[in-house]
Amino acid sequence: MDIVRTEKLTKHYGDVVAVEDPELHVKQGEVYGFLGPNGAGKITTINLLLGLVQSTREDVQVFGKDLSINSRLIRSQIGVLPAHAKPYDRLTARKHVEFVSRGKNADVEPDALLERVGIPDAADRPAGEFSTGMGQRLKLAMALVGEPELLILDEPTNGLDPNGARQMREIIQAENDRGATVFFSSHIMGQVEAVCDRVGVLNEGRLVAEDTVEEIRTVASGGAELLVTVDSGADRVAKRIQTANSVSAVTIDQQTQTVAITLNGIDDKGRAMTAVAEAVVGTNTQIRDFELREETLEDAFADLTQTEVPA
Q: What is the CATH number of the domain that holds 152?
A: 3.40.50.300
Instruction: Report the share of the chain in percent with pLDDT over 70.
Output: 94
Nearest to 49 by CA among 98, 2, 93, 5: 5
Task: Give dist(CA 50, CA 260) in Å, integer.
Answer: 47
> Model's pTM, two decimal places?
0.81
Are 198 and 232 within one domain? no
DSSP tag of 92: B
Mean pLDDT (whole number) for 233-246 = 81
Residue 256 within any structural domain of the chain: yes
Q: Is the pLDDT of residue 228 over 80?
A: yes
pLDDT in tens, 176-188: 999 999 999 998 8
Report angle CA 251, 252, 256 to the nearest 5 degrees: 145
Answer yes or no: is 71 within a domain.
yes
Q: How far lies 19's CA from each of 53, 191, 237, in Å?
A: 12, 25, 49
φ/ψ (deg, to 5) at 203: -145, 125
Interatomic CA distance for residues 20 and 57, integer angstroms: 10
- 133 with 239, same domain: the answer is no
Q: Do residues 189 and 88 share a domain?
A: yes
Co-location of 207 and 233 in the same domain: no
* Distance of alpha carbon 250 from alpha carbon 231, whole angstroms: 18
pLDDT digits (tens, 9 = 90+) for 6-33: 998 999 988 888 999 999 999 999 999 9
Whether residue 148 is found in the same domain as residue 67: yes
Q: Is 18 part of a structural domain of the chain? A: yes
Q: 40 pLDDT band (50/70/90 cuts)? A: very high
Structural domain of 68: 2-218
In this structure, the answer to whether residues 206 and 273 fall within a common structural domain is no
**Residue 302 within a domain:** no
57 plus 194 within the same structural domain: yes
Counting Cβ atoms within 10 Å, is residue 227 exposed (0-12), middle (13-18) or buried (19+)?
middle
Taking residues 32-38, report their average pLDDT.
95
Determine the Cα–Cα distance for residues 135 and 87; give it in Å rounded to an integer.
Answer: 7
pLDDT above 80 for 271: no
Are both 180 and 55 inside the same structural domain? yes
Q: Are residues 83 and 31 in the same domain?
A: yes
Query: What's 309's DSSP letter?
Result: P
User: Per the domain annotation, does 308 fall within a domain?
Assistant: no
Domain boundary among 192, 218, 244: 218
- Count of structural domains, the chain: 2
Question: What pLDDT shows up at residue 197?
Answer: 95
Residues 232 and 196 in one domain: no
My answer on whether 280 and 239 are in the same domain is yes
pLDDT of 294 above 60: yes
* Number of Cβ atoms within 10 Å of the Cβ of 28: 15
Does 151 share its domain with 261?
no
Mean pLDDT of 26-48: 95
Which residues of 132-285 form beta strands (DSSP E)? 150-154, 181-185, 198-203, 206-212, 225-230, 247-253, 258-263
Weakest mean pLDDT among 72-86, 150-164, 215-229: 215-229
Query: Does residue 277 form part of some domain?
Result: yes
Please, what's the largest Cα pairwise distance for the chain?
A: 76
